Amino acid sequence: MWRHLRRTLDVGGGVILAAAVLVPSATGLAGLPALGATLNPGGGVWRPAADAGPARAETVSLPGLSAPATVAFEDNGLAHVTAGADADLFRTIGYVHARFRLAQMDLTRRQAQGELAEIVGPDALESDRFERDLGLQRAARRDWAALPAGPARETLTAYSRGVNDAIRELVRDHRLPTLFTVLGYEPREWTPVDSLAVQRLVGQKISFDEQAVRFSFAQKALGQKVFDQWFPVVPGNRQQPFDKGPFKKLPLEPLPVRAYPADGVPADGTPGALGTPPTTVPAAAVHSLGNSNSWVVSGSRTASGAPILSADPHLPYSLPSIWYQLEGSSPGYHFSGVTTPGIPVPLLGKTGTFSWGLTASQRPTTLFYEERTDPARPGQYFYQGKWQPLTSVPEPIKVRGGATEQHQVRLTAHGPIMRVQARDYAVWWAGTLPSDNMSSMLALLRAKDLGGFRASLRGWTTPALNFSYADRSGNIAMFNVGVAPQVASGNPALPLAGDGSGDVTGSIAHDALPSSVNPPEGYIVSANQREASGDYPYQYSTSYNFVERGWRDGEIVEQLSHQDKLTLAQSAALQSDWHDNHARQLVPLLLGALKGVELDPFEQRVADLLTAWDYTASPDKPQPVFFDSYKNRLSWATFQPWWTHYKVPQDPDKGLLPRNADSGAWANETLRGTVLGWIQNDPDNAFFSLPDGTRRDATDVMRAAFHETVANALKKYGPDFRNWTYGKYESVLFPNLAGMSALDLGPYPGWGGNPRTPNVSVGTRDAADGRPLSNLATAGATWRFGVDWGTGQIQAVTAGGQSENPMSPWYGNGIPLWMKGRYWPVLEGAAVLGARTVQWKVTS
């Protein structure tokens, strides 16, 4: 289904909305030239780019540096930064980021702050209006003003100095990245506010979602009782929460006070006083992809006798990569991991004593309020028993080639007014609460043990994440952190009343959030499943609000639980694994349902194929082609008569309900788990029968879906199973920053996997060749990482490269290894001295 839902997905955590550059590049809109030929690698303006060839030894001057520093580059582009003072370390990282990713950094901060239209014209206005309404820049300014003297302030200041050192050097030497030349502007100086805004954009891409509104169309048509049966709090199929209880019930913690900007003024109440109509939320601005896997295994279950950690964040692929990998060393810090250009600290990685990974938590942190308004009272809304004035914040948006738009942000007590699915809501989003995540991450990097690591996470506000942990001393752990809003009444996973009755009353206490430390089974898995079991005593995630159904974590648990002495190589193989746990659970039930049924010869051949299947969605197999269709048709056969019976409307974005029997949809993502749970535990469920009273059970529905799927596949692909092989219809593509196909890498045919396999493969674009089921995978594991604390082995690989320049040997050099499931060794300290490197000497 994914390839139909989000063709305009941009990369979360650091790369610009591709369409904002693609449109003017391709058409010459907004006064820009058509750029297709200009941007071709090997010619045009790419030829003279400064970093087009291999890195060379340099001496870099950063005036005011406390002591000399070095930057060593391996042949693959991985960087090692060593400095004599902590501030010098982060300043040098800022310089390195800007030397290799300045265009990416500048476009990212412009997206975060709603300033794209200034350089690309009116096609970026939708994105700019949304970001101005959401308020990442306002929040970043507020947080910087409130940040006390200390490590976080010093780090952000030093990082900004390093970025600006690089900007001044590149401008002076006429070596700015090509994109600045093409768009005809120079980047302004970098500030700490820019880093804080980029940091919040990272959070937006993995936590701002509109599923509550989308599923409200189904809830209102079905009624609450039926809705809860179809879309239960806990998915209906077998689950693997990492915290199984018993749970603490603690008083709620107060949330940070979100004072709206001082420059906001009450609306004057006159018609038209609020300017433009409510902003429509752009599809590419919301969390519709961006999850992850991470697991930790204790020494009792590993060959080395010490913990192993594996982590792979799932986001859209991009060139340059979302990540910039480096090692950093100074008197107060030593770490190896991946940074997002624009942010000075690593988000995943290791120190000298522990390693950590991240996965997105799926509990709601975006709440939608239905405000009561009255045309006779423009500029007002009804709240806490009386009519209140909206707050209006002027946000002028500069537009290239046009007049400045006098945009007005409209705020209620709950947040900005936005248009979501053709309806107006006030949006409460945890991502703009006061936050000092930088101090939390710096404390994490300085932690010496499990206690220090856990203490550092108390300061983490948003987004909601799961931190996996494994250390040299033998500990493994998983901690869910971040604001977990609780409301006075209503369901936070559906729209709430705006009259005050559904207001946020606080957050789940940090010590009551799901966690696991050294569990008896010897492993902990997080793959975006619901983190706690159904008796968790707080409002939490729901099966339809971005909780994964348990396919990936189920498969990972399945394999780890049967592995006696795990090696890092085996853990790495699991990161590249294409087993589909949905198929592992469902296909045996289907084959059981077919026993005793008279099948025609071709149906029998299909059944025999399924009997022999190992449940891998690998390119050489025909079975995953059949199963991808069967899972959809099973949900269609079960629920479509009831959709019609209850007159459930399609949402305006046309993503809630499937278009036909062979398509996916957001509802189907949950209902696949629901119908499997019924087959496993309630085969006579009333909803297997038809609304007209015709009796059916799970066996009847499975058989009907089988016959229909075989007939449809035979029609599409013919009787020769060689035409069914999955790799004929699956390719993987790595899109580039500028949105120009000449700068992409791929598509590479013969790919495998799907959204349910540990090695995630998600299609956000259809292939252009018109083949049935043709799909371009453009999202999945963007970095794979593994640490064995017993052998000391560390390895990682990026689905991309370190440089944003298409002429650089480091543009996409990680892709061949990544596609083969191979890794670069992660070198640290003295090991770097033994490798062939190019060095920059950094002096004052």
| Residue 413 maps to a domain | no
What is the per-residue pLDDT for 265?
63
Q: Give the range with max mean pLDDT: 53-57, 257-261, 332-336, 653-657.
A: 332-336
Q: What is the mean pLDDT of residues 776-797?
A: 96
What is the per-residue pLDDT for 203?
93
Number of structural domains, the chain? Answer: 2
pLDDT in tens, 412-454: 999 999 999 999 999 999 999 999 999 999 999 999 999 999 9
Among residues 177, 207, 237, which one ends one of the domains? 207
pTM, rounded to two decimals: 0.93
What is the per-residue pLDDT for 288?
73
| Residue 711 maps to a domain | yes
C-alpha span between 626 and 100 (Å, rounded): 44
740 pLDDT above the threshold of 90 = no
Q: Residue 111: CB partners within 8 Å, gap ≥ 6?
A: 10, 16, 17, 20, 127, 131, 201
Strands (DSSP E) found in 626-772: 730-734, 745-749, 761-766
Among residues 207, 240, 265, which one ends one of the domains? 207
The CATH number for 648's domain is 1.10.1400.10
Among residues 187, 207, 227, which one ends one of the domains? 207
Q: Residue 45: CB partners within 8 Å, gap ≥ 6?
A: 38, 39, 178, 181, 182
Percent of the chain with pLDDT strictly greater than 70 = 90
| Residue 253 maps to a domain | no
63 pLDDT above the threshold of 90 = yes
| Residue 680 maps to a domain | yes
C-alpha span between 85 and 65 (Å, rounded): 9
pLDDT in tens, 260-301: 554 566 665 443 344 457 888 887 788 776 579 999 999 999
| Residue 201 maps to a domain | yes
CA-nearest of 182, 39, 103, 176 to 744 is: 39
What is the per-residue pLDDT for 282?
84
647 pLDDT above the threshold of 50 = yes
Confidence class for position 98, pLDDT limits 50, 70, 90: very high
pLDDT in tens, 506-545: 999 999 999 999 999 999 999 999 999 999 999 999 999 8
By residue range, what is the domain housing residue 713? 581-615+622-724
What is the per-residue pLDDT for 55?
79
The CATH number for 111's domain is 1.10.439.10
Confidence class for position 54, pLDDT limits 50, 70, 90: low
Count of H-run helices and E-run strands, the chain = 22, 33
Rounded (5°) CA angle 659-665-667 = 115
| Residue 199 maps to a domain | yes
pLDDT in tens, 611-632: 999 999 999 999 999 999 999 9
User: β-strand 783-788 against 794-798: which pairing, if any?
Assistant: antiparallel
218 pLDDT above the threshold of 70 = yes
User: β-strand 775-781 against 730-734: which pairing, if any?
Assistant: parallel
| Residue 377 maps to a domain | no
Looking at residue 493, what DSSP letter applies? T
| Residue 294 maps to a domain | no
